[in-house]
Amino acid sequence: MLSAIEQTGKISIVKRNFSWGEDLSLIIRTVERHFSDFNGNGFYPHPEEEALQRELLNIPTLRRLGEAIGRAALRGMAITDLGLSHLSEAHRNAVLYAIALTRGFPTSTDQRTKRVAWDVRAKRANQQAARFTTFSERVGGAEMHTDSSFYPMPEEQFMLYVVSAARCNGGESLIIDVDDIHRELEKTREGRIAYSLLTTRDVPFRVPAVYAAEDDNVEYYLAPVFRRDGGLKIRWRYDSILKGLAARPDLSSPELVDAIELVNDIVERQAPRFHRHLPDDTLLWADNHHTLHGRAMYTDPERHLIRIRTSNTPNARRIGPSGISAD
């Protein structure tokens, strides 16, 4: 199904070695039958998503692809040459939605439109109101982070599909395994103190003002950075934590600030990382609880990816908002 090309730690690059055959149009027809409106080709969490999931899993190629991703027990997998580049936007996004649904339950990125498939690309200058642009809507780099860090239930997984890679030798995708961050922390006394503090102490993750219900109301979510739960998990977004601590100085302390700064230094500079320029028609699947992701600086405004976040919990049973367009 997937041929290994290379593997670094728990992150691998593979190549599709199957033919979609007739199953590609069967997937598209099945999704089309359930969505009368593609919601601007962004879809939305389908009200009958569990039934739709069962139906899609009856399509052999799709089921086997989902199983192959899950069976690998990896934390990140880039599948090159996925075979969707010839499709229209609507059909390509339908297949991406279907692949995401084999892995869990796609969540809406935008609370207003409920879009599930989100375009990660720079907005044109005339669409940009500086205050409303986020990592996913501007050129440049993105600091290492987990998605939805400031909400109660960050999705377990996300996918990025490369429609058009940056043509400027930039915009590489970056992933760091949380175990590598822990390993770096264990090397020094300061690191061990930081790890202990960030495992036992809640820190406030501020919800970006743009997404909070009311701008005057500072919203934040309290959670530890590290959590032991079926292996070590991480929740991280440096700017959100700094803003959270500024809003709640009563929760701050010099030791906590030192710990945050140390982890930031490790994730931005020291920890080993997957660092790849992913070509067009690549699907990057990643674990949002056990890895951080980011992207290297780029300037090509035509770079275009599609992102879908996927929760293990059906949308009807999720707590709090789903992800946002930031990240």
Count how many Cα atoms sit within 13 Å of the Cα of residue 146 in the half-sphere of its side chain: 26
Q: How far is the CB of 163 from Fe ion (least distance, A)?
A: 17
Stretch in the footprint of Fe ion (CB under 5 A) among 108-116, 226-234, 283-291, 319-327: 319-327
Residue number closest to Fe ion, CB atom = 327
281 scored as a contact of Fe ion (CB under 5 A): no
172 scored as a contact of Fe ion (CB under 5 A): no
Residue among 177 and 327 whose Cβ is closer to Fe ion: 327
**Sites for Fe ion among residues 140-169 (CB under 5 A):** 147
Please give the size of the binding site for Fe ion, defined by CB under 5 A. 2
49 scored as a contact of Fe ion (CB under 5 A): no
Element (H, E) at 55: helix 49-56
Q: Please give the Cα distance from 122 to 299 (Å, whole number).
A: 9
Residues shown for the chain: 327
Contact pattern for Fe ion over residues 100 through 139, marking x by CB under 5 A: ----------------------------------------
327 scored as a contact of Fe ion (CB under 5 A): yes
Helix axis angle for 23-34 and 49-56, nearest 10°, is: 160
Helix then strand then coil, % of the chain, to nearest 5: 35, 25, 45
Residue among 27 and 144 whose Cβ is closer to Fe ion: 144
Q: How far is the CB of 18 from Fe ion (least distance, A)?
A: 29
Q: Please give the Cα distance from 213 to 210 (Å, whole number).
A: 8
Single out the residue of 103, 142, 146, 84 nearest to residue 283, CA to CA. 84
Binding residues for Fe ion, rule: CB under 5 A, are 147, 327
